[in-house]
Amino acid sequence: MTWELRLVENMGELLGSDKSESVVVPTETLIEDMKNQLKFLPKNFTWIVGWRTYVWQETETKEFKELTQREHKKLYSGEHLNQPEDGGESDNAVGPTTASEGKSTE
């Protein structure tokens, strides 16, 4: 099996205002950032809500596999990852893999 490191993400928009209560994430930091960048708080805007994560994807089956905590630590410290640490290696040598972006359709 050969595994490839992928960045998978999914984002959406919600109508928002400075009085939004339906957004699950705290809005204070976002509103402060908006004020700092624009120097005012607009009355109409949208919240962009979503998620992203790095995963291993098997190249033939397209199956996803979670990175280990150690792999996440290495990745976020700038190291390259090869194959998954917990097995799944193929007999073929694989050079350093960098994250490739992909969007989830789910």
What are the sequence ranges of the domains in the chain? 3-103
Predicted confidence at residue 90, as pLDDT, reads 34
pLDDT at 61: 93
- What 8-state DSSP symbol labels residue 81? B
What would the pLDDT profile of 14-52 be if each residue is shown by its tens digit?
A: 667 787 666 566 678 778 888 988 888 888 787 777 778
pLDDT given for residue 36 in this prediction: 86
Q: How far apart are CA 2 and CA 106, in angstroms?
A: 24
Rounded CA-CA distance 103/106 in Å is 9
pTM recorded for the entire structure = 0.53
Instruction: For residue 100, name the pLDDT band (cuts at 50, 70, 90).
Output: very low
